[in-house]
Chain A
Amino acid sequence: MEYGKDYGKEEMFAAACIREIQEGDNVFHGLASSTPMVVMKAAKELGKDFNYVTLSDGLDHDWLRPPYSASTLTENTYIGSVATFGLDDIFDLFARGQGHIAFLSCLQIDKTGRIAMSVLGGPDYDHSALRGPGGAGTASIVPCCPRTIIWKCAHDTRTMVPHVKFATTTAAKDKSMTLITPLCIFRKAPGETEFKLDSIFPYTTIEEVKENTGWEIAETEVPVLDPPTAEELAALKKVDPNYILGYEF
């Protein structure tokens, strides 16, 4: 597979996310989450046996209906569902320890997994330069989620900063957190308090990752992730003929 010819950063990013999903997982993505929506549909198409829950109330909707908009609140993630399972049920599921993966994003993140979704900049909370959406379930779900995956379609020093001033949530010490960007994967293992560079994508280098990350990266040698397989690319194409995957990049 050749970068730029057979696949782009979007497909690599999606393949990295797909590979995180394991058999039997209960997997959630939030609002305005077109990227994980396509990822989870493709994972279903690849035959992964997991449960898909999201804010539209739908449980395991018909993933072959092509999304036509980047909104994750349309009927697209509802039609064909086998049951309704709303956000209140999803919060309870994670609080009981029965949720496995939550795909969440952020405005900013730092090395310790402090995540900004509420406010950015300004002298204090009430006089911030930017008020964010708050991240609905981020603060509630992250402390209870064994494998939070932060998906961030931009990798730069504006979003990956040395220190997040106001944290909507922070990675839980006893849980894992994974940060996936268009260049690489960072992981914080249970028991640890900081992200480590886990692997990089085939078309980049550790130097490029370091240049674009606002915190110190100590790792000098990490594995290069395999490029997307033909099966992964075919699944992405099949579930997403309108290329909603490209929206966030």
Chain B
Amino acid sequence: MWGSDLLEQNPDFYKVFECPWTGEKVVCVRSLKPDYSLIHVQEADIYGNARILGPAYQDWLMSRASGKVILTTERIVGTYRMQEEPKLTAIPHLLVEAVVELPGGAKHGICYPEYLTVDFDLHKEYQKAVKNGEVPKFAEKMLEGRL
């Protein structure tokens, strides 16, 4: 972060400390602790164990940082899937508050390997809805499959 004007701009977020071992000055960034994370996954069981079968981005970190996690999932699978290969469970149930089965839940974005391209027309609709303050209406249409 050295050389960034963000340090001065956000003093509550960035602080310079001395490294206790080397004495070197280091920039520390305050940790984020969201109340909730909403994470869409390819597979989850009814207890909230979740597998991320494509790029995970920072979902793993978000699930650990948040107070509560709400999962949406392409499909609900049996817990045996997790027991077969526990290492593939990216988010364990003890971190998860709720699981919602929602196929296509990442649209208009992508969810590898379920759907691979951003739906740009839908993205434009979404942008329009944001501009016009009509996101609830947009969401309603999405959920009813009318978009």
Q: Which of A127-174 contact B (CB under 8 A)?
A: 139-140, 142-143, 166-172
- Contact residue among A55, A69, A172 (Cβ-Cβ distance under 8 Å from B57): A55
Rounded to whole angstroms, the CA-CA distance of A78 and B57 in the bound complex is 12
| B79 touches A (CB below 8 Å) | no
Q: CB distance A166 to B57 under 8 Å?
A: no
Contact partners of A140 in chain B: CB under 8 A = 1
Interface bits B47-65 vs A (CB < 8 Å: 1, else 0):
0000000111110110000
Among candidates B9, B55, B118, residue contacting A78 with C-beta atoms closer than 8 Å: B55
Q: Which residue of B lies closest to A134 (CB)?
A: B6
Q: Once A and B bind, how many residue pairs between them come within 8 Å at the CB atom?
A: 65
Chain B interface, number of residues (Cβ within 8 angstroms)? 20
Say whether B3 contacts A57, CB under 8 Å: no
Count of chain A residues with Cβ under 8 Å from any Cβ of B? Answer: 29
- Shortest C-beta distance, B50 to chain A (Å), equals 16
**Is A208 close to B, CB under 8 A?**
no
For residue A142, which residues in chain B have a CB less than 8 angstroms away from its CB? 3
Q: Name the prevailing secondary structure of the B interface residues.
A: loop
Listed stretches A4-12, A20-28, A80-88, A99-107; interface member:
A80-88
Minimal beta-carbon separation of B52 from chain A (angstroms): 10
Cα distance A78–B1 in the bound complex, in angstroms? 29
Residue on B nearest A138 in the bound complex, by CB? B4
Instruction: Report if A216 contacts B (CB, 8 A).
Output: no
Per-position binary interface string of chain B over residues 117-139, scored 1 when its CB falls under 8 Å from any chain A CB and 0 otherwise = 11000000000000000000000
Is A74 touching B116 in the complex (CB atoms < 8 A)? yes
Q: Does B55 lie within 8 Å of A56, measured CB to CB?
A: yes
A167: chain B residues within 8 A (beta carbon): 3-5
Q: A44 to nearest B CB, angstroms?
A: 20
Residues on B with C-beta less than 8 A from A87 are 57-58
Q: Considering only CB atoms, which chain A residue lies closest to B29 in the complex?
A: A140
Assuming the contacts A74-B116, A75-B116, A125-B9, asked whether A57 and B4 have C-beta atoms less than 8 A apart, the reply is no
In the bound assembly, the distance between CA atoms of A166 and B60 in angstroms comes to 32
B57 touches A139 (CB 8 A): no
Chain B residues with Cβ under 8 A from A171's Cβ? 3
* A57-B56 contact in complex given A142-B3, A143-B3, C-beta closer than 8 Å: yes
Residue A181 CB within 8 A of the other chain: no
Residues 54-94 of B at the A interface (beta carbon under 8 Å): 54-58, 60-61
Is A225's beta carbon under 8 Å from chain B? Answer: no
Q: Is B113 an interface residue (CB 8 A)?
A: yes
Interface residues of B (CB under 8 A from A): 1-6, 9, 54-58, 60-61, 110, 112-113, 116-118
Listed A/B pairs (14) with beta-carbon separation below 8 Å: A57-B55, A57-B57, A69-B117, A74-B117, A74-B118, A75-B54, A86-B56, A87-B58, A125-B9, A142-B3, A166-B5, A167-B3, A167-B4, A171-B3
Given contacts A139-B6, A142-B3, 13 further A-B contacts (CB under 8 A): A56-B55, A57-B55, A57-B56, A69-B117, A74-B116, A78-B54, A78-B112, A87-B58, A118-B6, A125-B9, A143-B1, A143-B3, A166-B5
